[in-house]
A and B are shown apart, each in its own frame.
Chain A
């Protein structure tokens, strides 16, 4: 089933109240053919379970990893992916766009 932002923020709250570590990722800027609009969310728990999408699949893996790290160290961070970036190419933002994502722990 397709998750709406509604489900995602509700899940983030439910998961946190259950005592799980939770991080929220939000697309804050896009250039070119980025597949998900600014404001899109993804929520991830400490085990890497996630709901939602920030890139239609391209860089989800890397965002989830950042989310798990944010849960561990308690710090928010801004990460950027784009075709000009070797890492981003490796993780697969092959659609030709660039995105910036804010990743924050829910505390």
Chain B
């Protein structure tokens, strides 16, 4: 591998952008295809499929044996609210290899005793995203779970602006209708607001905090994998 190729891969990774390294195993010739360049690439279908699955692998194309090294940014889950559901959600999310942060300005909730080993930030969302928590991007899922618009709304606004791949908000249909009205007033379009999963979670009849956590994580995995795997969310 040429040092320039390696430098491109490292730069894309540092910028949290996906890239695929294409290696011709006969001779070792290589090129990097950045995420934004995939659509125009001769191998676009193959590359898009591997990017969607996140899996590196061998492929045959144009009579050659190629290895695709998929470099996708690690998926992050940002939980708004250090609440009971979050306590169940965080360890499950870690088991799915998600990188987890919890944000809640209420210091009675955001205690290390309630969230052992979890990245916990006792700040308002806007303050947290300005420092303690890395800025949101397309490889982030955001779950707003406080029930309190003062805390949830700024996080939802940030998540929609950053085009997070998943945005979910806890609350009844009535609560969500009020939220839609507030976000509309803030200038968000119907389709932007429509990206919020609310009431949050897959409809599996979840009752306990742990079951609700499962329904949320199921929905997050679906948002991540389903569109390009060709199955409905």
Q: Residues of A with Cβ closer than 8 Å to B?
A: 5-6, 9-10, 12-13, 16-17, 24, 26, 28-29, 38-39, 75-76, 78, 102, 104-107
Q: Which residues of A contact B9 (CB under 8 A)?
A: 9
Q: Residues of B with Cβ closer than 8 Å to A?
A: 1-3, 6-7, 9-10, 13, 23, 25, 27-28, 55-58, 67, 69-71
Contact of A102 among B10, B13, B23, B55 (CB under 8 A): B23
B61 to chain A, nearest CB (A): 15
B25 to chain A, nearest CB (A): 6
B100 to chain A, nearest CB (A): 16
Alpha-carbon separation in the docked complex, A76 to B208 (Å): 55
**Contact at A39–B69, with CB atoms within 8 Å?**
yes
Please count the residue pairs between chain A and chain B whose beta carbons lie under 8 angstroms apart in the complex: 52
Alpha-carbon separation in the docked complex, A105 to B56 (Å): 20
**Contact at B58–A106, with CB atoms within 8 Å?**
no
With most chain B CB atoms within 10 A of its CB, the pick from A13, A16, A24 is A13
Alpha-carbon separation in the docked complex, A60 to B44 (Å): 34
- Of the A-B pairs whose beta carbons lie under 8 Å apart in the complex, a sample of 25, sorted by A's number, is A5-B71, A6-B13, A9-B9, A10-B10, A13-B3, A13-B6, A13-B7, A13-B10, A16-B3, A17-B3, A24-B6, A26-B56, A26-B67, A28-B58, A28-B67, A38-B57, A39-B55, A75-B28, A76-B27, A78-B25, A104-B1, A104-B23, A104-B28, A106-B2, A106-B6
